[in-house]
Structure formats: structure tokens, C-alpha cells
Amino acid sequence: MSDPDRPVEIAQIVRAHGVTGELRVRLFNSDSDVLFDLESVRLRLPDGAVREADITSARPAADGFVLLRIEGVSDRNQAEALRGAVLVVSRSELPPVEDGEFYVCDILGADVFLVDGTRLGTVSDYRSYPSTDVLVVQGDRRRWEVPLVDDFVASVDTANRRIELHSVDGLESE
């Protein structure tokens, strides 16, 4: 992790829920429970404005959504006015990761090399498919979707923002 103060988008307000100001929120990582441990977040509103919001309650909802209450939002109109806002936290507010795990925000923009030192490009995106998660590596003239499996990925060094691959043989480039 290079910058603990780096803003990380964690969720988006989808719509109002009910008439008392509760918000239906879609987590960008549906397995995350980070919203249940936070006291506040920054809201990046659709018009570009940013404001602090104190969380008064958060509870799980169906289909991986979270129902959230924030201080000062007490009716449906106030909640609807926040539709589309993105919830942002500092990277340091996210829980530590286990060995062998990483946050996507820590590898976006990381340099990608083969184990022999050949530079391939940078991580431009991360995609999650039903069969596997992949890193999208953008080179000068090619782009690869590299499955996050040991056959391809030799190491992920988030501190130095460096990923080493065994090979890209067999991967189609775009």
C-alpha cells in the first residue's frame, strides 16, 4: 500500500429505501462488510461535490445490498437527492488483508513484468468472472486478461506496486 490517505470508492447509493431516509447501497465488493464498521464516509455526489456523512446505522439487505442511514437524512426526498452518490474512504480505513490477498485499489496502475524482468505494462483494470478473476494488463501495443491463478501469477507486491507473471503464453491479447 503506497498511500494510506488515497481515496477508495467502496459503494454507491442506488436509491431511497422506504420513507424515513434509509438508503439502499450497492457495495463494489459484495463480500465486504466494511460499511458495518465505519462511523463516517465521504459522499462524492453526482454533481462532483464531496461531503462528510456520519453513519448512524447499516444493515444487510437482500442480494448483497446494504441499507444505510446517515445523519441528517430523515425522509425519502433527502435520500433520493443522494441517488448515485459514491461512498469513499481513505485506504487506511480498510481492514488489513491476509497473506496472499490484496485490495484491487492497491494494484491498479501497478507495473507488470515477466519473471525474467521483461516489462509487459500496467494493471489497467480488474474483472471478476464467474470462473475466475483477472487482471487487465495494458502494454504498449497489447492488452491481456491474466487469470489470477498460480499458473500465471508469480507474485503480487502491493508495497512496490509490482506484479510478476510466469508467462502470458496461451493468453489472447486484444
Average pLDDT by stretches of 10, the chain with 174 residues? 78 96 92 90 95 96 92 97 96 86 90 96 92 93 94 93 93 75
Grid cell listed for 38: 465505519
CATH topology (fold) of 7-93 = Elongation Factor Tu (Ef-tu); domain 3 (2.40.30)
CATH number 3.40.50.300 is the correct assignment for the domain at 104-165: no
Q: What is the pTM of this model?
A: 0.76
Integer Cα distance of 165 and 169 in angstroms: 10
Say which residues have a Cβ less than 8 Å from residue 106's Cβ, sequence separation at least 6.
1, 2, 91, 158, 161
> How far apart (Å, rounded) are the C-alpha atoms in residues 45 and 22?
17
Residue ranges, comma separated, of all CATH 2.40.30.60 domains in the chain are 7-93
pLDDT at 86: 96
Cell readout for 43 is: 459522499
Task: Give the Cα separation of 53 and 72 in Å (integer).
Answer: 9
